[in-house]
Amino acid sequence: MKKEIEYKEISAVLDKSLEGKTVHIHGWVYRKRDQKEMVFIIVRDSSDIIQAVVKKESVSKKVWEDALKISMESSCTLTGKIREDKRAPTGFELQAEDLEIVGLAERFPITKDLSEEFLREVRHLWLRSRKMTLVLEVRSAVFEAIHKFYAERGYFEVQSPSFTSAASEGGSTLFEVKYFDRKAYLTQSWQLYAEAMIFALEKIYCIAPSFRAEKSRTRRHLAEYWHHEMETAWMSFEDLLKFEEELIVFVAHYVAKKCARQLKELGRDTKELLELKTPFARMKYAEAIKRLGKKSGYDLTDEDERKLVADVGKPVFLTHFLREMKAFYMKVDPKDKKVVLAADLLIPGVGETTGGSSRIEDSKELEDSLKLFKLKKEDYAWYMDLRKFGSVPHAGFGLGVERLVMWLTKAEHIFDTIPFPRAMDRLTP
């Protein structure tokens, strides 16, 4: 029986102990340079890159012709000896003995200095770029870190439907869809369902897509984003803030350590992440608008948020918003009935990254709130029920995963943090 070829990851062959040994790798052509008697092919796979050299005198006629023919982004397999070479981009060179073209690429449309708009058009190809690869590796580590954080604290991961019959975060950003012969909406948040599930599981979380029909074109809004949400029975407002800051610090440290190489290559200094610690700053809405020289009722812009957090110099919870500015389910502050026990966490360079609150637990209060927000009682009948069967104080928050990735990678635009962004003017590829 023919022995299977053992292909190694490129990062695994960048190894001094393999000096002079023959290895097999596969990957894609990242760069290529032809000389008269030699062709240099830089090959990439998901783990790293390596320079391969094909010498006319050392290979068969077929291999030499293929080396001349192979184009950028072609897929190939290579066999050759490993040699340490300080001049090579990753310190080692593969001296090719055999080369097989697996998929010969047509002329690759992505070259240097292309517009952001063009790169979004060819997103399916741009995903292979070094920058996108690194960001997606960091993104994956963020999901990993969130799951780890909750597993260590005995939380349960639970899911909710994506089709919903009513809004949770206000009607202006609802996506309406045809649902058989009725109208339905794509979910804006897992929260209302989570509030039902805490009566069984008490400590729960999820990471799932949320949909917002955002009409604004900003650098931090998507129409479909990944929403990490948490809901906890018996949790106070102060404990909610402590929990959130612990999570952010945990994720920052985890990613800074696990993705040190990726962040360095992205030009992100990990010092800020590694030095991040609790507690974060806290500022009431009233104080924030005073600082900004605005009147009560003023809705902070993205820019205001970034300015505030830059002034404070570390993440800051903006709390105690006017009731009418926020969602119907938020608990009124017993000490000041005009404001709610809600907090948005502002992160440097990004602005709002989480939004959370204590929830109304009293049935009558919730009914009054629905009236105040001009919402139909019938639409929230099952949600109202939750206050009638052993209601408890509870709190939770939602975090935009892409916004967190923006901060971790210092991405300029939220589109740079998700493989296939969806926004008002972007539905393809």
Question: Which residues here bind ligand 4AD, judged by CB under 6 A?
Answer: 168-169, 188-189, 191, 212, 214, 221-222, 225, 227, 229, 352-356, 396-400, 402-403
Residue nearer to ligand 4AD on the CB measure, 96 or 192: 192
Smallest distance, ligand 4AD to C-beta of residue 163, A? 17
Whichever of 50 and 399 has its CB closer to ligand 4AD, that residue is 399
Mention every residue, 6+ apart, whose C-beta is less than 8 A from residue 185.
Answer: 163, 164, 165, 166, 167, 174, 175, 176, 177
Q: Would you call 413 helix, strand, or coil by DSSP? A: coil
Which tokens hold the place of 160? Answer: 């909710």
- Tokens for 70, please give them: 């192979």
Nearest-approach distance from CB 210 to ligand 4AD, in angstroms? 7
Q: How many residues does the chain have?
A: 429
Which structure tokens are listed for 211?
Answer: 């949909």
Nearer of residues 105 and 208 to ligand 4AD, judged by Cβ: 208
Distance CA 284, CA 57 (A): 74
- Cis before residue 279, ω within 30 degrees of 0? yes
User: Six-digit token pair at 77?
Assistant: 């397999």
DSSP 171: G
Least Å from the CB of residue 266 to ligand 4AD: 20
Alpha carbon distance 224, 227 (integer Å): 9
> Quick one: tokens of 128?
């292979």
Query: How near is the Cβ of 8 to ligand 4AD at its closest, in Å?
Result: 39
Report the nearest approach of ligand 4AD to the CB of residue 11 (Å): 33
Q: Which residues contact 60 (CB under 8 A, 6 or more apart)?
A: none
Minimum CB separation from ligand 4AD for residue 397, in Å? 5
How far apart CA 136 and CA 423 sit, in angstroms, is 19
Least distance CB 425 / ligand 4AD (angstroms): 14
**Measured between alpha carbons, how far is 192 from 295 in angstroms, rounded to an integer?**
32
Name the strand (E) or helix (H) holding 129: none
Q: How far is residue 306's CA from residue 64's CA, in Å, rounded to a whole number? A: 56
Closer CB to ligand 4AD, 44 or 359, in the complex: 359
Least Cβ distance, residue 209 to ligand 4AD (angstroms): 11
The answer to whether the CB of 330 falls within 8 A of the CB of 340 is yes
User: How far is Cα of residue 173 from the mean position of the Cα atoms in its chain?
Assistant: 21
Residue 42's φ and ψ, nearest 5 degrees, are -90, 125
Of 39 and 399, the one with the shorter C-beta distance to ligand 4AD is 399
**Minimum Å distance from CB 316 to ligand 4AD?**
14
Which residue lies nearer to ligand 4AD by CB, 188 or 409? 188
Complex with ligand 4AD: residue 89 or 170, whichever CB lies closer: 170
With respect to ligand 4AD, which residue has the nearer C-beta, 8 or 422? 422
Q: Which helix (H) or strand (E) holds 25?
A: strand 22-34
Q: Which is closer to ligand 4AD, CB of 80 or CB of 400?
A: 400
